[in-house]
Amino acid sequence: EVQLLESGGGLVQPGGSLRLSCAASGFTFSSYAMSWVRQAPGKGLEWVSSISGSGGNSYYADSVKGRFTISRDNSRNVLYLQMNSLRAEDTAVYSCARTVRGAISGVNWFDPWGQGTLVTVSS
């Protein structure tokens, strides 16, 4: 069974840093791109970042570019999100998701998603 389990969330002051982890199991981790998505309390979904299976390519939303860094350890099957210079507007549940690419269509989709970890930025 494919499973994704996030950890590392918590309360942090504005300007602080936090590193989130996503432990993956049940599939060949290095064969899949992975993504982070966040959801502020009572709000919709916001894509944050994605990284290729090898880790060689990464992409970011403008709202986090220059402050967040996505990475992965394929030997340990773990995805990371290093978050620096945190702001109040970064408060959200952060979820990781496996990015699946259709073999024939080349179309991507996110499946499955982890339950998420809550990050609260407040003084």
Partner 1 sequence: DIQLTQSPSFLSASVGDRVTITCRASQGISSYLAWYQQKPGEAPKLLIYAASTLQRGAPSRFSGSGSGTEFTLTISSLQPEDFATYYCQQLNSYPYTFGQGTKLEI
Binding positions for partner 1, rule: CB under 8 A: 35, 44-47, 50, 59-62, 95, 100, 102, 105, 107-116
Provide the minimum distance between the beta carbon of 90 and partner 1 in the complex, in angstroms, as a whole number.
16
Distance CA 1, CA 94 (A): 22
**Nearer of residues 18 and 96 to partner 1, judged by Cβ:** 96
**Nearer of residues 23 and 100 to partner 1, judged by Cβ:** 100
Provide the minimum distance between the beta carbon of 103 and partner 1 in the complex, in angstroms, as a whole number.
12
Host H or E run for residue 79? strand 78-83
Listed in sequence order, the residues at least 6 apart from 72 whose beta carbon sits closer than 8 Å to its beta carbon are: 29, 34, 51, 55, 78, 79, 80
